[in-house]
Structure 1
Amino acid sequence: MPMDEDAVAALYRDHAAALRRFARGAVGSEEAEEIVQEAIIRVWRHAPDGTQGLRPYLYRTVRNLIVDQHRLAGRRPRTVAPLDDEGGFAAAGGERFDELLDRVVMEEALARLTPDHRQALVAVHYRRLSVAEAARALGVPAGTVKSRCFYALKALRAALDEMGVER
């Protein structure tokens, strides 16, 4: 199949920056760029018809390439000592890697929320503050905190769906 350079360039222009940010959280910058380029080529060759499902398909492809790279690296002899529990990829069975990848996905999705929605969601769901405590910390009424959390969760679900995260 001859490669349509304009189509590949358009895919890269429209999606590469977001995919690179997503991949960079799990692998280094150089590896992220290679993964994004490979994902763009794969998606261009095998993308679903239409553009509606393209973005989630791109994110799933990048995620699969990151997992493949991690598995392949696990089969190679280590040239450096594994990181400790605070630092990263050292746990057996890839559990730390999966946790890291989940965290990267969540951080990317949270970054898509408005600052007000993100602050309310983080206060209530991550810092485990009560609605009243979050309202005092954010300087807004309790009803506003509830409303922001409701709409933040809705937007977060939409962002995760767009990124191809399955529930």
Structure 2
Amino acid sequence: MDEPEFRPTHVVPPDGLPSWSAPDPAQPSVPLDPVLPVRLTEVIGDWGHVTCSNGWQTWVDSRLLVALPQQPPRTPNALAPAGDPRPLLRRVEEAVQAYRQALDDLAEGRISREAFADRIRGHRVGAVLDGESAWLLDLEQECWFYARAGQLQPHAAVSIPGEREGRQSAVDHAPTQAGEP
């Protein structure tokens, strides 16, 4: 049986890192080398249990580990790139604007708390922007998309496959702008 591939989550800081055989300062162990890749497997308070690429395990001060950027997990069935992210970004912007308008109306006393709740019921949007990368939620396709360098890649379904048939999505329940059908 093949060993699973070692995938580090962190590296040791450039000055190295003391380690302990247990999450107990009275049990010191061999210090870890500078910039050593490790996988953080457990956290208890400030203590972090790490595994090194050779399988050796030890405890460290997890606050001092340097996190590595992680690629999004792969889907079992690769989906084709979806193209230009700008239309989806436009829908995200419109949804945020509609929510902001409802919130402004509530804050300025133009609508009641109940009217606010009615206006935003079923209203869902998701976006995480991180430099050149972005996660965008498309409720029409019930899918999260990962966008990098201007290209969308379908990534994670919002619902269980086949669940959408026989029910309306949250988008179908979203409030419309004034004057829209």
TM range (shorter): under 0.3
Q: Which has the higher strand share?
A: 2
TM-score normalised according to structure 2 size: 0.21
Q: Larger radius of gyration, structure 1 or 2?
A: 2
Q: Which has the higher helix share?
A: 1
More relative contact order, 1 or 2 (CA 8 Å, 6+ apart): 1
TM-score normalised according to structure 1 size: 0.22
